Amino acid sequence: MKVTLKVWRQKNGSTPGQFVSYEVDQVSEDMSFFEMLDMLNNSLVRKGEEPISFDHDCREGICGTCGLMINGRAHGPLKGVTTCQLHMRSFSDGDTIVVEPWRARAFPVIRDLIVDRTAFDRIMEAGGYISVRTGGAPDANAIPISKKAADAAFDSAACIGCGACVATCKNSSAMLFTAAKVSQFAVLPQGQVERKERVLNMVAQMDAEGFGACTNTGACEAECPKEISLVNIARLNREFLRASLAG
């Protein structure tokens, strides 16, 4: 099949960008979206042009680096997948595909489709940890944890920090990400020690980074490749209220 790509090209953060159109021929529907981009980049290199920069690492949906806005949908049109898990069979012959970087004030463009997501790292540094003695591996059952709590923590911990929640949110809010990271500790006994400071500091950092305030539109949940649920945001709100009111 043959597709037309409209790709955002931008040299760096201080130069304005623009869309450039590329015709890509001989695309197989079994190709992944990135294999199609790789093929285009090879032909650009052969012509002596600058290849399109895009972020990727694992290409199997676990590292969270590969976020792209494809035809107005974060990680493309499918539910519960990352861009690297998207295949060309989701498109048809003759389609025009618009590819844009995540757009949010807190995620500035570095080059082409690559944005700087270190704001997420700073939110993690503000409280996304527990203080424990490291050393020899502890006995797995030393601290009793209910199956329910373990499952809830695991569901939250499935967040890969890809930023699709921010990208799709009309407020560029990082609530789903932050909520998942607060939740994964809040439901476990190991998370209790820093429970109060964690939520206050992580929310403060999220605000300082310039992310917007959640207005419960639910777009994040709909686009999250790991299907992190709004239950996490409800929990974050509860944790925040509790920590604030407890003075």
- Smallest distance from ligand HEM to CB 217, Å: 7
- Smallest distance from ligand SF4 to CB 174, Å: 8
- Smallest distance from another protein to CB 106, Å: 7
- Smallest distance from ligand HEM to CB 9, Å: 35
Closest CA to 98 of 69, 56, 78, 75: 69
Q: What angle do CA 190, 196, 201 make, to 5 degrees?
A: 110
Distance CA 35, CA 213 (A): 36
Q: Residue 242 — left, alpha, or beta (φ > 0 → left; ψ -120 to 50 → alpha)?
A: alpha
174-203: which residues touch another protein (CB under 8 A)?
175, 203
Q: Which is nearer to ligand FES, 56 or 181 (CB)?
A: 56
What are the residues binding ligand HEM (CB under 6 A)? Answer: 215-216
Helices (H), the chain: 33-46, 118-125, 147-157, 164-168, 175-186, 195-208, 219-223, 231-245
Q: Is residue 206 involved in binding another protein (CB under 8 A)?
A: yes
* R_g of the chain, CA atoms, integer Å: 20
> Residue 189 has which token pair?
């006994």
Which residue stretch of 21-29, 47-55, 137-145, 224-232 sits at the interface with another protein (rule: CB under 8 A)? 224-232
DSSP string, 186-235: HTSGGGSTTHHHHHHHHHHHHHHTT-B------HHHHH-TT---THHHHH
Q: Mask 26-65, x = binds another protein (CB under 8 A)?
A: ----------------------------------------
What dihedral angle (degrees, nearest 10) is formed by the CA atoms of 170, 171, 177, 181? -160
42-81: which residues touch ligand FES (CB under 6 A)?
56-59, 61-66
- Smallest distance from another protein to CB 109, Å: 9
Distance CA 148, CA 61 (A): 25
Q: Is residue 129 involved in binding another protein (CB under 8 A)?
A: no
Q: Which is nearer to ligand FES, 107 or 185 (CB)?
A: 107
Residue 91: CB atoms within 10 A of its CB come to 21
* Partner in contact with 44, chosen from another protein, ligand HEM, ligand FES, none, beta carbon below 5 to 8 Å by kind: none
* Partner in contact with 203, chosen from ligand HEM, ligand SF4, another protein, none, beta carbon below 5 to 8 Å by kind: another protein
Residues found near another protein in the complex (CB under 8 A): 6, 19, 69, 71-73, 98, 100, 103-107, 168, 170-173, 175, 203-204, 206-207, 210-219, 222-223, 229-231, 233-241, 244, 247
